[in-house]
Amino acid sequence: MGYYDEEYEQKPKRRGRGGFLPALIGAIVGGLIVAVASPFLSNTEMMPGNEAQNETVRNEDGEVIQKKVAVDVTTSVTKAVDQVNEAVVGVVNIQQSRSFWNEERTDAGTGSGVIYKKAGDKAYIVTNHHVIQGATQVEVSLADGSRVPARPLGSDQLTDLAVLEIDSNHVSKVMQFGDSDVLKAGEPVIAIGNPLGLQFSGSVTQGVVSGVNRVIPQDLNQDGTPDWQAEVIQTDAAINPGNSGGALINIDGVLIGINSMKIAQQEVEGIGLAIPINIAEPIINDLEKFGEVRRPYIGVSTLSLNEISGYHLKETLKLPENVVEGVAVLGLEPLSPAAKAGMKEYDVIVAFDGEKIPDVVALRKYLYTQKEIGDKIEVTYYRQGQENKVELTLTEQKM
């Protein structure tokens, strides 16, 4: 090409005796070097005609005025995305409003979803509860841009998960579940979804696991008191509005989390949160099979002691001074496990199976994660200042 020759003056070459033999040896050595190095250069995309395609444009004088280099880059990230991108879809929340003159059908919002199962003529999609909340109709936007109707099978506000059903004829790929319990801080992850709507469908962002087992309080009824504590994966992969319900995958291209903007702080840069798939999977199974999450319950309405005044702790509940944590029973459902076991209004639950229950969130957490319908549970409670214990048989929570 002469890139270096332009910078120095060539000297006339001398011819002498003995020049043929060194030239022959040099040619042989050079050929051997090229033969040995070619496979390595080919693997690193440095040999012409392999992955890189070069195009040089010259002017009339032969000077290079433009040079284009196109490289086909394949990495572990691109392989993972290519493996699963068609299994990530858009979810459209359609709401209808009626007036005296007409009925309007509008797209109230969009989110993302993950196709996780294909069985017979049906395929199943997991998304967030808040993505489809209030919808009169739901549609799914596929990787090719087409939109198909979806039927909500069930949703759960507590875990912010929902399951949809579509015709399997539209599905070519499904996402495989991974194991979120083995995630490590610093492990690379990839978020796929539809930030800011369907015009950015299939967007990919990359980051790392910033933290595992993060606990985020959630106030579901907006009364200022947390109703639940969600365990989530923290990542610095960009998760924006519209990514809700989308996939968080590892470098092997398997699903390890469901992105959820509902529990993310939008004003904070670099903090995204996702529901671990090991927590989501049993919820997904219940929603698919039963249309709801089947949870055990004892049948009481409660209030944490830290929300009750010191006067009522002493005068109404008549608690000893050393009892400062627990859950007060404000009401019982007729024929519930607690009612059948003889519990009463103003009893104060302090432990389940010997494990302390400091507040309402801990009570729900223990029931929903440690127990199943039909299990027995030992309840330690105070009544009129006296400690008591009773055994209950848990039944299914009625929604």
* Residues 6+ away with beta carbon under 8 Å from 125: 89, 91, 113, 114, 115, 116, 140, 150, 163, 164, 165, 166
Cα angle for residues 180, 184, 187 (degrees, 5° grid): 100
Q: What stretch of H or E contains 71?
A: strand 64-71
In order of 88, 92, 127, 284, the CA distances from 141 in angstroms are 9, 7, 13, 21
- Print burial letters for 75-90: b (CB count within 10 Å at least 16), e (below 16): eeeeebbebbbbbbbb
Reported as half-sphere exposure (CB side, CA atoms, 13 A), residue 309 has a value of 4
Q: Work out the number of other CB atoms within 10 angstroms of the CB of residue 46.
A: 13
Q: Work out the number of other CB atoms within 10 angstroms of the CB of residue 284.
A: 25
CA distance linking residue 159 with residue 227, whole number of Å: 11
Q: Secondary structure of the chain: what % helix, strand, coil (to 5)? A: 25, 40, 40
Fill in the amino acid letter for 218.
Answer: Q
CA distance linking residue 259 with residue 271, whole number of Å: 12
Locus of tokens 């209808």: 96
Q: Is 146 exposed, middle or buried (0-12, 13-18, 19+ CB in 10 A)?
A: exposed
Q: Partners of 230 in the beta sheet?
A: 216
Catalytic residues: 130, 160, 244
